[in-house]
Structure 1
Amino acid sequence: MKTALITGANVGIGLATAKALARQGFNLILLCRNEAKGEEAVTAIKRINPAVTVELVLADLTDTDSIRRAAEQVRATHRQLDVLINNAGYSPDQIEFVGTVEKSFYANHIGHFVLTYHLLDLLKAAGEARIINLSSAAYMLGKASRFFQHDKKLSLLAAYGDGKLANVLFTKELATRYADSGITAYAVHPGVVKSNFGSNFTGPIQLLMSVARPFMRSPERGAETSVYLATAPIDVITRKDGKAGGSGGFFADSAPKLVKHIDNTNRQAADLWEKSMAFV
């Protein structure tokens, strides 16, 4: 049986992804912040397929010590990891900072970067492993020049966009660095999903979310691309023309999409990696 670790797996897209992978026979590690909700998710998933193992690991993606402890716990009990789905997302309701870094950028990028880095040995041990980073079309609102900047005047949407752009660049650099290690990486836009995401937005953004909510897709539909990337044969995922798709690519609706952003460059991806290493 293959093993997948999913962050933010107790609600929304993460829970829907976990349930879908359980149906396909994956053993699961749920990395969650809330223990009670995590235990509820474990129970619900075991009910779907009693034959798989479902473990709960607690971590706060804005606390690197917590993340390192979680990674150590996983490494102590597992010899390999086949799929890592960095699914958890944080939408800011105000501009806050963890140290000098804006909180949503910390949770959406840095936390997942640190977790991924400390699990790389387990991923390499699998022989063929996949890293799936939940990004968003909101990457278009991001700017690499704002990464790691202590800007209290940053708008909520710009802050969120920065994290989602970082997810795209992180994926790109993972694909470059680990091409010869049996690890592939993919960024995902799950679509606009009807979940708890954005429930803490205020003002005009909250009004927009309320109007749009009836037209949003279900968490199960939002999970489809992550599940596809976790389970489909590699040669099916990889596009032959080399222009989109394959490792380092951006996917939506289970298909590769071109990333149209001036900052989507190898140099920006490498620079983000080097700056993120300070938090490892």
Structure 2
Amino acid sequence: MSENQNLLAEQRRSLILDEVRRRGGVRVNELTRKLGVSDMTVRRDLDALARQGVLEKVHGGAVPVVEASTHEPGFEAKSGLELTAKEDIAKAAAELVAPGSAIALSGGTTTYALAHHLVDVPDLTVVTNSVRVADVFHVAQRTAGPRQGAATVVLTGGVRTPSDSLVGPVADQAIAALHFDVLFLGVHGISSEAGLSTPNLAEAETNRRLVQSARRVVVVADHTKWGVVGLSSFAALEQVDTLVTDAGLPEAARAEISEHLRRLTVAGEPDEGADI
């Protein structure tokens, strides 16, 4: 299958998932008409989304999976979702990183995408509690060999979560002693009432420490995170300087966000990075 065909499949599945979540369920014949593809193609897409655990197949269609606030998907399950949106967000967020700065990257698949765009930024100091993010820099440096200006990477240590983040007292103590110019923070959920939240209590505390140690907080989150509430809140929206998201975020959500945040960046839009 070509790269273009893969992209089309990814976009189609994103549209299907949005439709399922918005309407509370869809039928296969409705999707074939809406997307202009065959019945077999839609069923393959539903099978793929069901394997990722983001919807449930039922006779003739699909319904959303209702997740408990304590449910924490693993890294692999999340990494296949909203790939294009995460890549767009990562590119936009990378523009906020200055050479020579000290930054922190939390765990998550969007910060993992961002890390790939930062490996060539000179003289960075990167603090992370993500095993996956640290590996991005490690592999890049091992492949390129020793070079001047390569990033210095500090991995916090701690107990590993299903999303491959390191959390707990060891991570918290390491982070509390540090100070970052910018924190790039991935989230499980974001809402005006609950702020930033996660289903993992230990991760919530580690994220609080990350926020407290940062001069600026940049949340990187695709539109599907809006309105999701995990078990534990760890920051209010007012503690966030910038939200970098994708064009799928509805206008109503943008208006609501504008009441709380100083800056909204919608990747790929002409007014990208406009202050609000």
TM category, shorter: 0.3 to 0.5
Scaled by the length of structure 1, the TM-score of the pair is 0.40
Q: TM-score, normalised on structure 2?
A: 0.41
Query: Which structure dedicates a bigger proportion of its chain to strand?
Result: 2
